Structure 1
Amino acid sequence: MPFPIQLNMHDDCLVANIYVPDTNATNLPVMVYVHGGAYVMGSGNFGYYNSLVKTQQVIVVTFNYRLGVHGFLCLGTQDVPGNAGMKDQVALLRWVNRNIASFGGNPNDVTIAGCSAGGGSVDLLTLSPMTVGLFSKVITESGSSVGYYTGAQMNPIENAKTYARILNFTNVDDIDALEEFYKTAPNALLDFSMEAQLGNAVILFTPCVERDTGTDEERFLSESPFSILSKGQYPKLPLLYGYADMEGLLQVNGFDKFHTIGDMAENFSNYLPLDLQFESEEQKEEVAKNVREFYFRDGEMNQESILEFVDYYTDILFAYPMLRGLKLRRNSNNDTVFLYEYSFVDENTPFVPNTNVRGADHCAQAIAVMDGDTTAATTEEYVQIRAMMREMWLNFIITGNPVPENSYLPEWPSVNLGWSPHMALSNNSAVNETLIVEERALFWEDIYEKHYHQPAAPSFRSEIMWRSTLLCLCLCGAAVWAESDERESKLVNTAQGAVRGYKDPEHGIFAFQSIPYASAPTGPNRFKADIPMPGLMPFTTNTQENCLIANVYIPDTEEKNLPVVVYVHGGGFQMGWGNMLVPKKLISEHNIITVTFNYRVGIHGFLCLGTEDAPGNAGMKDQVALLRWVKKNIANFGGNPDDVTIAGYSAGSASVDLLMVSKSAEGLFNKVIPESGVSTSVFTIQSDPLENARWFAKANNFTDVDDIYVLEQFYKTASFEILTKDPFFDRPDSTFEEVAKKVKEFYFGDKPVDEDNVLAYVDYFTDVIFAYSTQRSIKLMVENGHDQIYLYEYSFVDENTPVVPHTDIKGANHCAQSIAVAGEIFLQADSMTLTEEFNKLSTKIRQLWANFIKTSKPVPSGSELPAWPAVRGAWTPHIALVKLTVKRSMDPKIITINPLLSWKMWCELVLLVAVAVSRGAGLDVLEPRLVHIEQGPVRGFQDPSTGIFIFS
C-alpha cells in the first residue's frame, strides 16, 4: 500500500518517481531512466528530465534500486543468489507495465535509458529473459554489459570474501559462514566504506552470472553477457548507443587518493582489465609491456602523461567494451543501432589537469540531455547542442529513430559492422566515418581475441554454517532489602498473584521488589527466550540463572493513572542488576512510578549462535517480556499502562534505543530517555558473535570450536560457574591502519599515547564509544522526520569530581547525568557530602526529566526553566547541563571526525519530496492530481516552474 512520503535513508528504498506532462493525452511514450553511481551510490532523482516532459510528448519514470552489498552481493546460494538490484529494476519495469496507463502512458511503448552503471544496467536488461516484453527501445550511455567495470563480476565469491575481510570477518572460506555474516551484519557495517566497494577502477559488487540454486526463483542472468550476445539469443531492439571521448577523466580524481600513477608505473600489469586471462605471469607481463608502449610510448608515467592515462581508462572502462558489445550485436543482426561519440567542449569545460586540453568527461552526453543548473553560466554553443540532442533523444523515444524522415537535423544512419557511420556530437556535429578512439579500439580487439575470460557463476564447496556477533557473561544480581513486618506496607494484585511492597521511610515511597515477571529457561534451554510466569514463587537474593525479577517503586499517594518510567540498568551487557541505580527522588518529588528489573546479561543474555537453541538476544527479549508485564500489571500499582517511558544508562541506554526500533516492543512505551549509549554505539551490536563465542570457549580450554553444534553443546551444558567467569579478554587488534593513523593524528598529533596525553585519550574514547554514535543516531532520526528529540550535553563538575589522572582537569564521567537524576553518588562512600551546587543542578535536571516523562517535553510551555527546543538539524540546538543554558551547536571536534567514520546508509536520498517542498513551498498551494495504481491511490503535485506533475 502507498505510504507517507518522507525524505529519509533506509532499507526499504524501492520507490518510483513519475513525471507527467500537464496534458489529458493518453498512450504517451514512456522513458524509464536507470541512475548510475557505480552500483554503490545514487538515487532515482540523480538527474531530471523535465525538459523532455515539458514537450508534453513523454512521461519519465525514475526509481531507486538496491545498491552495493545489498543489491549485488552474489554468493550463488538460495538466500543470496545475486542480482537483487537488477531484479529490483525488473520489478520496476513490471510495475510500469501494469500501472503506467493510469498516468496516461503507453505500457507497450517504453524506452529504458541509463548512464554509467545505469548504462551497464540497461545493456544487461536487454539480455535477461526476465524483461522480455517490458520495453521496446534502449538508450545506453557510457556503460556496457561486456565490460568488467559496468558489466558482470568476474569472481563474485572472491569479491564477497575481500569485502568481508575488510570488515574484519575472517572465516571467509566457509560459504555458509560468509553468507550468514552478510545476512546478519548491520547496514552501518556493510556500508562502512564506499571506497572499499569502489576502489581504483574496480567495483566489488556489480551484477553477476547466477548459479542454478535448485529453486523456482527466476534468474536474471544465467550465462555471461558475451555468450548471450554471441549466440544472438535476445530480443533485437532499437538502440541509441554511445560514450564521451574522455570518459577516463572519471579516474583522474582518484589518482592521488589511490596512489595510482606511482603504482601503475611500478606494477602496470596489475592495472590491466580484469577480464583478461593469461597462461603465465610472463605472458601477462609481455601484454602489459605492449599496452604500456602503445599508450605511453617510451615516456615516463607521471602527472605530465595525464592524457595518456585518460585515454587508457576511457578505452578499458567504457569505449572499447561498448564498441565490442556493439559489434557482437551487429553480428547477430541487431541492425537498428545508432552510434554516437560525444566530444563537445566549450569555455566552461575544465582543462584536463596539467594540460591545456579540454575533453568531454564521463557521462557528459547524459548531462547535456538532462536539466541543467539554470543559475550557471552557459554558452550559446552549449545551449544549441543540448537542444539538438534533446530533440534527437526525444525522437528516438517516440519513433525509435533519433533523426526520423523529414527532420531538419543532420542525417544519422544506423551503424554497420565496422562501427561506422556514427554521429559525432561535437562543436560541429555531423555524421562521421572514423571514431576518435577507433585505432585504440582495434588495438584492444587483438588482445581480447587472445586473452578474454568470461565471467562465470559463483562456485564453492558446501561447508558447515557459521556466523558472528559479541560475547557476554551472565551475572544476575538482586539487591533486596531485609523485610520487616513492622514496616508500613501495601498489597497489590498482579496477574500472577498478590505482591507486597514496603515503605522506604527516608523517601516516602513504596518498594515492591523481586517480582518475577518471567522465567528464564535453564539448562540446555538457557539461551532461548524467556517463559511467561504461571504464578509467584519464592525468590532468593543470590546470583542465579533464573533472575528475571522486577522492582516497582510507587509514590505514597492514592492517585491513579500515574506516569511510569521503566529503567534499564547498564553494565556493558556483562553485569549489573535492576537496583544498581534507583531514582527515588524522582519518584517522591514528582509522583512517577518507576520500574527497575533484571535481565539476562553476558553469555546467558547475549550468546548468539544463530541456531534454534541459541538464536541470540535473550537479554533483549527479557526486556520486552518485562515491558509486556508492565503493560498488563502496572494499572494495579496505580500506573497508566498507556503512559510508559523507557530510560536507561550506558548499556541500558543502548537497550532502550534498540527497543525503539524493535517491532516486538511496539505499543509498549511512548517516550524514551537514552543516557550515554545508543543502538549505533560500537559496544551495542556484536560484529562477530560466532567468533566471540569461540574465543570464550577457547579461553575455557574448549578446543573443538569449529563445529557449530559441538560449540552449542558446550554452552548448553557448561556449568554456571564457567559461564560467569570474567568476560573481558583481549582480542587481536583489527583496526584499519590507515584510519588508525588519521585518528591518532587527529587526537594526539605528533605526541605519543602516554600518561602526559591522557586528555586526548579520554576525548578519543568519549567520541568513538558514546558521543559520535549518539550524534550519528540523532542525525539519522532527524533525517527520517523525527522532530521531538531533545539533546543535551552534561559537563557539570564540582569539588567532589575527581581530577583526570596526570592532569589538573575535571570532567563529567560516564553516566554522570544519570547520577544527577538519581540525586545520589553511585558506589561512593556514604560519608561523601553532596555539594549545594550539585544538589541544585540535580533538582533542576530531575524537573526536566519529570516534565518529559509527563508531557513529552523537558520544558513545557509556561515553565520557568530555560527554553529547550527540539533538535532541528546538525545537532542543534542543545541544552548544556552545567548552568542550564541553551547552545546552538555541539563540540565541533565531533563533527570534524565524521568523515573518518562512515555513517552513510546503502540507500542514500531514498525519497525526494515534491520539488516545491525543497523550494520552500507548501504542498497545499500546489495543484494535485490523483492517480489510482494497483496498491491504491497516489497523489502527484505540479511543479509550477515546469508544469510537470511529480508522483514521488
Structure 2
Amino acid sequence: MRPTALVLVALASLAAAAMAGRGGGGGGGGGEGRRPEARVRQGRLRGEWLETARRRVRYASFRAIPYAAPPLGPLRFKDPRPAARWAGVREATAWGAECTQLEGGQPKGAEDCLFLNVFVPPGAWAGAGAASAAGPLPVLVYFPGGAFVRGSSNRYGPDYFMEAGGALLVTVNYRLGVFGFLSLGTADVPGNAALKDQTLALRWVRDNIAAFGGDPARVTIFGQSAGGASVHAHVLSPLSAGLFGAAVSISGSMLAQWALPRDAALQRRRLLERAGCADGRPEVWAACLRTLPAYDLVKAGGSVDLMREMLRDQQIPFTPVVDGAVPGATPFLPDRPRRLISTGRFNRVPYVAGVTSGEVLHFMASAPANTPHFVEEGLANLTRQFKEQMAAALPAGLPLNASDLARDVYRPDSRSGQHVLERLVEAANDAFFVWPAALSTRLQSAFEPRQYLYYFDLDAGLDLRKPALMPFLKQIEGVPHGGDLFYMFRIPDANTTLPEKSIEMRTLRSYVQLILNIAITGKPTPQPVEGVLWPPYDSDADGAYLNFGTDLLSAKTALRKKQLMVWDLLSLLISNRHS
C-alpha cells in the first residue's frame, strides 16, 4: 500500500525532527575527587562526573567512545569493523562527531562518527572495572531516530534515567542516509550497514560494559521513530540474537510501510545520476561513489528539497532492506518482516511497542496543510487508495463494502476543513503508527507472550512539540511524534521546574520507571506503578495496553478496535503481495 501524500510529508519531516541543541548532563561539575576511569578492550578511558539539571544527582559520564573503525575510504558502505586499540588514556569528556547528514539543506557532521556514550548512575560506580556493592546493573541501549537520514545520540540528556538509577544508559551513533542504508544489491554494498553498526555496538556492550559496572547479560535496547524501527529490526535479525534480552520500540515498527523501500531501484538510480556515477556495473558504481567527498555524496543522496522528493517518490530515500537474497552477503533481514514474525523466526524476548496519539501532527507543521483544499484532497486520496487496495485484497464475494467501512470509520463530523483535517490526522496516525505497533505485538504474542503495547495520550505542559504547531493544528487533540521523549530524556528548553506532584512529573517518573523495570525484570510492572499493573498483550482477550493520559496510567483493552480493523483488512493485501 502506498503512503498518502500527508504521510510522505510526515516522514520527510522526520529528518527535521531531531531534537535541537545538545543533551547530556546539566553542568560540568559534580564534586571533587578522581575522575572516573575504565579499561575496555581497546584501552583506558577517562570520563568525568556530571550532575543532573533538576536534582543535582551526580553520575559518571564517558562520551565519544569509538566502537567501530572509521568507515572511511574503502570501508564506506561496508559492514563495520571493530575499533582499533589506542595507547595511553583516551579522554571521554566531549561529544563525538555526529554522522554526516543534511540540516536545512546544508551538510554537517563527519563519516568518522561511530561513537557511543556510557552514563553510569549514582551508586553503580565502584572504580574502574568494578561493579557496585549491589552487583552489576542492567543496561539500556538507545538508538535515536530521524527518518534514517538524520539524528544523533548527542541530543538526548540522560538526566531522568540517572536520577531514577537502577541501570546504565548507553546512547549510540550509527551511519545515516546513503552512508548507512545504500544498497546496490551486491556483496560489496548489500545495504543495512547502519543496522550492522548498531549490532557491532551491542557486541561492544557485551564485551566491555562490565568495566563500567554493567551486566552484559541484561541488556535492553530501545529507540524512537527510525530508532524504534531499528529496535524492531534487531528483534527480527539473526545477527543480533543473544545480544539483548528485551526491546522497546517507540513510534516505529518494521511493519510500518515507511520502514522498507517501495522502489529501491528508483532511489539508487537517482543517487547514481546525481553523483555522476551512473555508468557501468554495480562494482563500478561503488568505486565511483567511494571517491566522492562526503558532503557531495550526502547532498546527492538527500537532496536539498527532501520533502518534494518524498512526495514524488512516495518513500524515504534510504531505509533498511531485505538482504537475504544478496549473493555473498551476511544478511541482516533474511526475509520480509511480517513473514519472519508469522513463521516465528525472530528473537523471542520481552517486547514493548508504543505510539503517541497524534504522531502526524508534528509532521504536518512542515506540510502545506493550511488550506481546506489540501486536507480535502488528502482525505480523498486516502479514501480512493483504500477503495482500490481493499477491493484487490478481499476475497471475491465477501459481503463487505470497503469504501463504506472507510467512510464510516473516519467520517468527518462536517465538511469543514478542520473536521476533515482531524479525520485525516486520525487515519494517517492509525495507518502508519498505531496499527503497525499493535500488529507487531499481536503477531509476536503467538510465539512469545511477553509482548506489551502502550498509547501515550497525555497532552500536557512538558512537551514542546505541541505549542510549536500552527494554531489550526493545536486545536486537534493528540500528542505529536516525539512529544513523549520529553518525559524520558532531558531536552534543551524543556520546563524542568514543574512541581514534583504535577501530572507531567508523575508521568515522567512513571515512563522512565516502566522502561527501567523492563531492563531489570523483563516486566514493565513487576509491582504496580502508580497503582496500575500493565498486563501483556493477549489477542484472545482483545489486546491489553497501557494508556498514558490525564488520569496518569490506566490498563485498557481493544486499542482503537474499530479503526484498526480497517487496517487489519488491508493487511490481507500486504500479506498476499509478499507471501
Instruction: Give yes or no for TM over 0.5.
Output: yes
Matching of residues 180-329 of structure 1 within 5 Å: 180-192=287-299, 193=303, 195-196=305-306, 199-200=310-311, 202-215=315-328, 217-256=329-368, 261=375, 264=378, 267-268=381-382, 291=406, 294-297=409-412, 300=415, 302=417, 305-329=420-444
Q: Which residue of 1 aligns with 2:567?
A: 444
**Are 1:155 and 2:295 an aligned pair?**
no
Change (3 A) 1:274 1:247: farther
Equivalent in 117, 120, 130 of residue 229 of structure 2: 120
The answer to whether the 8 Å contact 1:269/1:288 transfers is yes
Report Cα offsets for 1:568-610 as digits up to 9, x if no partner.
xxxxxxxxxxxxxxxxxxxxxxxxxxxxxxxxxxxxxxxxxxx
Q: Which residue of 1 aligns with 2:37?
A: none
Equivalent in 215, 235, 240 of residue 106 of structure 1: 215
CA distance in 2, matches of 1:10, 1:179: 20
Identity of aligned residues (%): 26
Counterpart code for 1:230: S
Matching of residues 156-171 of structure 1 within 5 Å: 156-165=264-273, 167=274, 169=276, 171=278
Give, in angstroms, the shift of residue 240 of structure 1. Answer: 2.4
TM-score, normalised via structure 2 length: 0.69
The answer to whether the 8 Å contact 1:248/1:309 transfers is no
Equivalent in 244, 250, 258 of residue 141 of structure 1: 250
Q: CA RMSD in A?
A: 3.5
Change (3 A) 1:312 1:82: same
The answer to whether the 8 Å contact 2:144/2:152 transfers is yes
CA distance in 2, matches of 1:454, 1:289: 24
Equivalent in 204, 215, 229 of residue 95 of structure 1: 204
Counterpart code for 2:215: N
Give, in angstroms, the shift of residue 72 of structure 1. Answer: 0.7
| Partner-residue secondary structure (3-state), 2:353 | strand
Change (3 A) 1:270 1:409: same
The answer to whether the 8 Å contact 2:393/2:572 transfers is no
Give, in angstroms, the shift of residue 204 of structure 1. Answer: 2.0
Give, in angstroms, the shift of residue 294 of structure 1. Answer: 4.3
Give, in angstroms, the shift of residue 437 of structure 1. Answer: 2.7
CA distance in 1, matches of 2:403, 2:265: 26
CA distance in 2, matches of 1:367, 1:412: 22
Change (3 A) 1:455 1:19: farther
Report Cα offsets for 1:254-276 as digits up to 9, x if no partner.
32189964753675479779999
The answer to whether the 8 Å contact 1:247/1:318 transfers is yes
CA distance in 2, matches of 1:251, 1:159: 22
Give, in angstroms, the shift of residue 45 of structure 1. Answer: 2.1
**Are 1:356 and 2:475 an aligned pair?**
yes
| Partner-residue secondary structure (3-state), 1:80 | coil
Change (3 A) 1:208 1:335: same
Counterpart code for 1:186: P
CA distance in 2, matches of 1:253, 1:384: 29
TM-score, normalised via structure 1 length: 0.43
CA distance in 2, matches of 1:435, 1:90: 34
| Partner-residue secondary structure (3-state), 1:254 | coil
The answer to whether the 8 Å contact 2:379/2:420 transfers is no
The answer to whether the 8 Å contact 1:31/1:59 transfers is yes
Report Cα offsets for 1:495-544 as digits up to 9, x if no partner.
xxxxxxxxxxxxxxxxxxxxxxxxxxxxxxxxxxxxxxxxxxxxxxxxxx
The answer to whether the 8 Å contact 2:375/2:421 transfers is no
| Partner-residue secondary structure (3-state), 1:32 | strand
Equivalent in 390, 415, 419 of residue 537 of structure 2: 415
Q: Which residue of 2 aligns with 1:28?
A: 137
CA distance in 2, matches of 1:377, 1:50: 14
| Partner-residue secondary structure (3-state), 1:313 | helix
Higher relative contact order (Cα pairs below 8 Å, separated by 6+ residues): 2
CA distance in 1, matches of 2:448, 2:508: 28
Change (3 A) 1:445 1:328: same
Report Cα offsets for 1:620-660 as digits up to 9, x if no partner.
xxxxxxxxxxxxxxxxxxxxxxxxxxxxxxxxxxxxxxxxx
Give, in angstroms, the shift of residue 123 of structure 1. Answer: 0.7
Matching of residues 502-901 of structure 1 within 5 Å: none
Counterpart code for 2:482: C
Give, in angstroms, the shift of residue 92 of structure 1. Answer: 0.2
Runs of at least 5 residues in structure 2 that lack an aligned partner in the other structure = 1-84, 98-108, 127-131, 395-400
Equivalent in 176, 180, 192 of residue 83 of structure 1: 192
The answer to whether the 8 Å contact 1:32/1:110 transfers is yes
The answer to whether the 8 Å contact 2:324/2:332 transfers is no
Change (3 A) 1:60 1:279: closer
When the two structures are aligned, how many residues end up with a matched partner?
447
Counterpart code for 1:196: L
Q: Which residue of 2 aligns with 1:370?
A: 489
Q: Which residue of 1 aligns with 2:67?
A: none
Change (3 A) 1:279 1:329: closer
Q: Which residue of 1 aligns with 2:110?
A: 10
Q: Which residue of 1 aligns with 2:3?
A: none
| Partner-residue secondary structure (3-state), 1:102 | helix
Report Cα offsets for 1:411-454 as digits up to 9, x if no partner.
11111015522111111134443455322111111122135466
CA distance in 2, matches of 1:118, 1:88: 13
CA distance in 1, matches of 2:286, 2:390: 28
Q: Which residue of 1 aligns with 2:35?
A: none
The answer to whether the 8 Å contact 1:246/1:311 transfers is yes
Q: Which residue of 2 aligns with 1:129?
A: 238
Give, in angstroms, the shift of residue 139 of structure 1. Answer: 1.3
Change (3 A) 1:157 1:374: closer
Change (3 A) 1:335 1:303: same
The answer to whether the 8 Å contact 1:248/1:312 transfers is no
Change (3 A) 1:308 1:91: same
Runs of at least 5 residues in structure 1 that lack an aligned partner in the other structure = 281-285, 457-952
**Are 1:71 and 2:180 an aligned pair?**
yes
The answer to whether the 8 Å contact 2:323/2:331 transfers is yes
Change (3 A) 1:311 1:442: same
